[in-house]
Amino acid sequence: MDGSALSAQEKGAGAAPPAEAAAAGHHILTREELIAKVRAYHPRVKSELLGAAYDFAKKQHGEQTRDSGEAYYSHPVEVASLLADVKLDEVTIVAGLLHDVVEDVDEIDIGEIEVRFGADVAELVDGVTKLDKLDFSSKEVAQAENFQKFILATTSDIRVLLVKLADRLHNMRTLHFRKKAESRERTARETMDIYAPLARRVGLYQLAAEMEDLAFEELNPEARRAILYRQEELALENANDLERIRDDLQQLMDLAGIKCRIKGRKKAPYSLWRKLERKSISFRDVADLFAFRIIVQNTEDCYRVLGEVHTLWACIPDRFRDFISVPKPNGYQSLHTTVRASGNRRVELQIRTEAMDQTAEFGVAAHWGYKNKQYGFDIESARAAGLDPAASLEAFSGLIQDGADAKEFLEHAKLEMYREHVFTFTPKGKLIILPAGAMPLDFAYAVHSAVGDSCVGVKVNGEVKALRRPLKNGDVVEIVRGKRPAPIHGWEGLAITGRARSAMRKLVRERDTADFRRLGEGLINVALRRAGIDPVDLKMNHTARLAGFETREEMAEAVGRGKISSADVIMAAFPGYRPDPVDDPAKTKLDSKHAPLLVAGQDLTPGVTLHLGQCCCPLPGDRIMGVQVPDKGVVVHVASCPKLAEYDDKPELWVDLKWTELARTDAMAVGRIRINAANERGVLAKLCAAVAQANGNIVSIATADRRPDFIELIMEIEVEDLKRLTQILAALRSLAVVDRAVRDQEGADDQ
Ligand code: MN
């Protein structure tokens, strides 16, 4: 591979020729030249395909021109040429030629690309086109890292990224032709924040460095110029030293019999600038350092070179790194060391083999070649170069270890490091990162709790979608909001994030509080009227204070929740009043009156009267079913209740029901149990103590049967749910006097 190819090509930016001269004078690679360039490393290339793509791009871009004044097709040709520089396969080169056609030419869609150039090419072009549509105009640099992750997560084929990077590099090389300073700056910033780091992540160091330098020139030309000038100065000042140390090194290698190439390295202005920014050190400290690269024939020689150098010169502690035994995740391998050479001169050395050098410059792109007569990504070569499995290029490794062939590899080589996330956008382009599997409600709450609270629907990519559909990478999500906050029916299945779930729970609690208040007000009014008092005549806030509450709302809620009875309220207001004990409507809490708060069902008609089946006494925690009984309403039964058998042939009367959140958390219900116990002294006290200890509140006890030796009781116990009742039953069964304790559900089998 020609190491100089990517950067050493005519650098428009550096030379900055006048625009007209560039337009007229810059040579655009011809069809034949491009084919020849590819054929040089890939003799079996399908030249017809390549030629056809070249002609197609040229024809389709037609009269379009670039800001440089050049014909537009020069851009895709340059991009293809850059891809050929790193010796990529023909599908990638063809995609490079066609990468702007779909976006820029109205009449051409991806379908046509597929028909003409095949599915592989179409897929790559489609991927690049999608990346182009991303809006990075958000200036939040803090999001840059997220965008990088986003691109990696959505790029299903590493070649899409390579085409995109080549595209960006060429756009950067021609950036100075662009007229609008604002647009130049935005592109440069984006390159600095997103594309250069991405290139580095896949190991394309050289490309990354060139991108950075071009962006640096746009964003901070004075700083770059100053650094170049200082470098020049230092180089002149140090010219003799530099030559002497290079000679010393060469001599050292010759004496040791190590064959090698020694390259001088000039630090990129931008990397010097970064160091100056980061550390409070002088320019001389960072720049006054000679850097060489020693390229040898094999790994063993790398360590021999290291030994020789460390013998001759003192090694500076903490500057030695062995990336050969522990390569970087992107496959980078090299030995790094800094020594103090003669004249107290610091010398930085990178020692590596030819193959490592290729990987260091071209990263993943260094591993295209022939394998079994097929030209493509060479897994063995990548593996040999230490493209690391375990770390960030996880997906590569998985496939490499599974022994997938190259094609499979390319099809599936998703950079899956961020697989656990889904990257979505607001309509205004703000990035919202959610855990994979997140749904629109999660998105809504991630945007703002007010958005979540009032969410009634969603549009994804402009289309109305179901709330239960998990979001996908790149989705643009617009939350449809209702007038006021309200919990969404069945929200439990519509959110996975803790934030959304706890917010929804809070909303449900608030709504229930409102419902309880209404219910409590109603109960109080009914009781007052029954006692012959017109509620209008009563100062409710005063009554509330008499009953020990701050406000009437608090009192109403307490009555609604059954914490106090409406009779208590009346007694507080009229100390002499004694209500009829049987008729207190607030006495039982889980009863038909409260049922609308406690059970819910999608097919339940709002306002329908609900009854809790007396046959089975359903408790929160029971699986329940409703039956539509004409002229009565819906009767709620435990799913196992034998009564349901009567409706087996009338499925149209069945209603799916479930307990509400409220029923499961706040409500108290009455469970009925049947106990057979020894008829002995004190048995009742023992039973009552056991129930109380298990946190049950006995509402009533009735004797069903009494014999000399045994007694059968039916006990109604107030519990919050089935679980509690089960605990109480267990406590009773553990008593020596108890023979049998079961839930009383007429005819139903015990549990
Ligand atoms: Mn382009």
Write the CATH number for 320: 3.30.460.10
What is the pLDDT, as a whole number, of residue 667? 66
647 and 623 in one domain? yes
Contacts of 272 (CB under 8 A, 6+ apart): 227, 231, 283, 286, 287
pLDDT of 468 > 90? The answer is no
Whether pLDDT at 436 is above 70: yes
DSSP state of 721: S
Range of the domain at 103: 27-133
In the predicted model, what is the mean pLDDT of residues 269-295?
78
Q: Which CATH number is 128's domain given?
A: 1.10.3210.10
Q: How far is the CA of 421 from the centre of ligand 1 (A)?
A: 28
The two tokens of residue 382 are 């990548």
Residue 170 has pLDDT above 90, yes or no: yes
Tokens of 96: 């490079």
Q: CB 89: neighbour CB atoms within 10 A? A: 22
d(CA 200, CA 92) in angstroms, rounded, equals 20
CATH of the domain at 701: 3.30.70.260
Distance between CA atoms of residues 520 and 559, nearest Å: 5
Q: How many CB atoms lie within 10 A of CB 656?
A: 12
Last residue of a domain, one of 116, 133, 150: 133
Looking at residue 408, what is its pLDDT? 38
Residue 533 within a domain: yes
The more confident residue out of 560 and 197 is 197
248 and 356 housed in the same domain: yes
Two tokens, residue 84: 């050929």
Q: Assess whether pLDDT exceeds 90 at residue 510.
A: no
What are the backbone dihedrals phi and psi of residue 438, each rounded to the nearest 5 degrees, phi first? -65, 150
- Predicted local confidence at residue 264, as pLDDT: 85
653-696 pLDDT, tens digit per residue, is 888 888 877 676 666 777 888 999 888 777 777 887 788 788 77
Residue 103 is among the residues annotated as catalytic for this protein = yes
Q: Is the pLDDT of residue 11 over 60?
A: no
What the block records as the tokens of 123 is 């897929």
**Given this model, what pLDDT does residue 379 score?**
61
Over range 63-70, report the average pLDDT: 87
Q: What pLDDT, in 10s, does the model give residues 293-328?
A: 999 999 999 999 999 999 888 888 878 889 888 877
How many whole angstroms from 56 Cα to the centroid of ligand 1?
Answer: 15
User: Is 198 inside a domain boundary?
Assistant: yes
Tell whether the model's pLDDT for residue 27 goes beyond 80.
Answer: yes
- Pick the most confident of 84-98, 371-385, 537-551: 84-98
Q: In the predicted model, what is the mean pLDDT of residues 519-534? A: 77
Whether 10 is covered by a domain: the verdict is no
User: Would residue 104 show up in a list of annotated catalytic residues for this protein?
Assistant: yes
Q: Which two tokens stand for residue 171?
A: 């756009």
Residue 418 belongs to a domain? no
Report the percentage of the chain scoring pLDDT > 70.
80
Structure tokens at 354: 């030819």
pLDDT at 82 over 60: yes
Exposure class string for 315-337: b at 16+ Cβ within 10 A, else e: beeeeeeebbeebbbbbbbbbeb
CA of 266 to the centre of ligand 1 (A): 30
> Does the pLDDT of residue 17 top 60, yes or no?
no
Instruction: Give the separation between CA 551 and CA 557, rounded to whole angstroms.
Output: 10
Distance 168 CA to ligand 1 centre (A): 7
CA of 72 to the centre of ligand 1 (A): 10
Contact 263, 292 (CB under 8 A): yes
For residue 64, the CA-to-ligand 1 centroid distance in Å is: 13
Last residue of a domain, one of 556, 585, 614: 585
Nearest CA-CA partner of 623 in 601, 647, 605, 603: 601
Q: Are 38 and 50 in contact (CB under 8 A)?
A: yes
Same domain, 87 and 204: no
Identify the band that residue 393 occupies on the pLDDT scale cut at 50, 70 and 90. very low
CA distances from 176 to 92, 179, 525, 722, 735 (A): 27, 8, 80, 74, 91
Q: Is residue 474 a part of any domain in this protein?
A: no
Our count of domains for the chain comes to: 6
Per-residue pLDDT, averaged over 101-125, amounts to 90
CA atoms of 166 and 740, how far apart (whole Å): 80
More confident residue, 534 or 402: 534
Residues 300 and 350 in one domain: yes
Using the mean position of ligand 1's atoms as its centre, give its distance from the Cα of residue 79 in Å.
8
If asked whether residues 246 and 340 sit together in one domain, one would say yes
Rounded to the nearest angstrom, the distance between the alpha carbon of 81 and the centre of ligand 1 is: 13
Looking at the predicted structure, is the pLDDT value of residue 449 above 70?
A: yes
Instruction: Find the mean pLDDT for residues 538-562.
Output: 84
pLDDT at 343: 78
For 3-33, give one letter per residue: b (16+ CB within 10 A) or e.
Answer: bebbeebeebbeeeeebeebbeebeebebee
Residue 163: pLDDT band (50, 70, 90) is very high
Residue 627 located in a structural domain: yes
Q: How far is the centre of ligand 1, averaged over its atoms, from the C-alpha of 99 (Å)?
A: 6
Residue 654 is predicted with a pLDDT of 84
Report which of residues 267 and 102 the model is more confident about: 102
pLDDT tens profile 333-362: 899 999 988 878 889 999 999 888 887 877
Ligand 1 centroid from CA 159, angstroms: 15
More confident position, 653 or 750: 653
223 and 256 assigned to the same domain: no
CA of 157 to the centre of ligand 1 (A): 18
Read out DSSP for 658-720?
A: EE-HHHHHT--EEEEEEEEEE--TTHHHHHHHHHHHTT-EEEEEEEEEE-SSEEEEEEEEEES
Q: What is the model's pLDDT at position 304?
A: 93
Does the pLDDT at position 710 exceed 70? yes
Both 149 and 53 in one domain: the answer is no
Highest mean pLDDT among 22-36, 164-178, 234-248: 164-178
Q: Which of 187-191, 243-247, 564-568, 663-667 has the lowest mean pLDDT?
A: 663-667
Neighbours of 232 (CB within 10 A): 10
Ligand 1 centroid to Cα of residue 117, in Å, is 19
Distance separating alpha carbons of residues 104 and 606, to the nearest angstrom: 55
How far is it, in rounded angstroms, from Cα 617 to Cα 580? 25
Write down the pLDDT at residue 746: 59
Range name among 36-45, 53-62, 370-379, 463-472 with the lowest pLDDT average: 370-379
Percent of the chain's residues with pLDDT above 90 = 21
SS (H, E, C) 559-575: HHCCCCCHHHHHHHHCC
**Nearest residue to 377 via CA among 356, 357, 394, 399:** 399
Structure tokens, 136:
């990075």
Cβ neighbors of 169 (< 8 A, separation 6 or more) are 6, 82, 207, 210, 211
Please state whether 658 falls in left (phi above 0), alpha (psi between -120 and 50) or beta: beta
pLDDT of residue 138: 52
Asked if residue 563 is part of any domain, the answer here is: yes
Same domain, 129 and 99: yes
Predicted local distance difference test score (pLDDT) of residue 382: 63
pLDDT at 532: 77
What does the pLDDT average to over 181-190?
89
Q: Both 187 and 224 in a single domain?
A: yes
Q: What is the pLDDT of residue 352?
A: 94
Q: Which one of the listed residues 33, 67, 103, 510 is annotated catalytic?
A: 103
Task: Name, of 411-420, 547-556, 561-570, the range with top average pLDDT.
Answer: 547-556
Higher per-residue confidence, 305 vs 503: 305
So what's the pLDDT on residue 149? 60
Q: Could you write out the DSSP letters of every residue in 496-534?
A: -SHHHHHHHHHHHHHHHHHHHHHHHHHHHHHHHHHTT--
Rounded distance from Cα 100 to ligand 1 centre (Å): 5
Give the separation between CA 350 and CA 295, rounded to whole angstroms. Answer: 8
167 Cα: distance to centroid of ligand 1 (angstroms): 5
Residues 265 and 291: beta-carbon distance below 8 Å: yes
Choosing from 104, 308, 348, 510, the catalytic residue is 104
Which band of pLDDT confidence, cut at 50, 70 and 90, is reported for residue 558? confident
Ligand 1: distance of its center to the CA of 73 in Å?
10
181 C-alpha to ligand 1 centroid (Å): 19
Number of separate helices (H) and strands (E) present in the chain: 33, 23
Instruction: Write down the H helix ranges in 337-378.
Output: 354-362
Residue 70 pLDDT > 50? yes
128 and 156, same domain (yes or no): no
Task: For residue 450, give the 3-state DSSP assignment.
Answer: helix
* C-alpha 314 – ligand 1 centre gap (Å): 50
Residue 651 has pLDDT above 70, yes or no: yes
Query: How close is the Cα of 103 to the center of ligand 1, in Å?
Result: 9
Whether the per-residue pLDDT at 410 is higher than 60: the answer is no
Tell me, what's the pLDDT at 101?
Answer: 92
Average pLDDT, rounded, for the chain? 78
Q: Name the more confident of 581 and 479.
A: 479
Q: Which SS3 state, helix, strand or coil, does residue 457 take?
A: strand
| Residue that finishes a domain, picked among 527, 560, 585 | 585
User: Is residue 719, in this structure, part of any structural domain at all?
Assistant: yes
What whole-number distance in Å separates Cα of residue 375 and Cα of residue 91?
10
User: How much of the chain is helix, strand and coil, in % rounded to 5?
Assistant: 50, 15, 30
246 and 353 in a single domain? The answer is yes
Measured CA to CA, the distance from residue 195 to residue 168 in angstroms comes to 8
The structure tokens 């350092």 sit at 289
Query: Within a 10 A sphere around the Cβ of 373, how many other Cβ atoms?
Result: 6
What integer pLDDT is reported at residue 153 of this predicted model? 56
Note whether 256 and 308 are within 8 A (CB): yes
Q: Looking at the structure, do residues 56 and 105 belong to the same domain, yes or no? A: yes
Q: Whose CA is closest to 40, among 97, 100, 81?
A: 81
pLDDT level of residue 390 (50, 70, 90 thresholds)? very low
Q: How far apart are CA 454 and CA 491, in angstroms?
A: 13
pLDDT tops 70 at residue 579: no
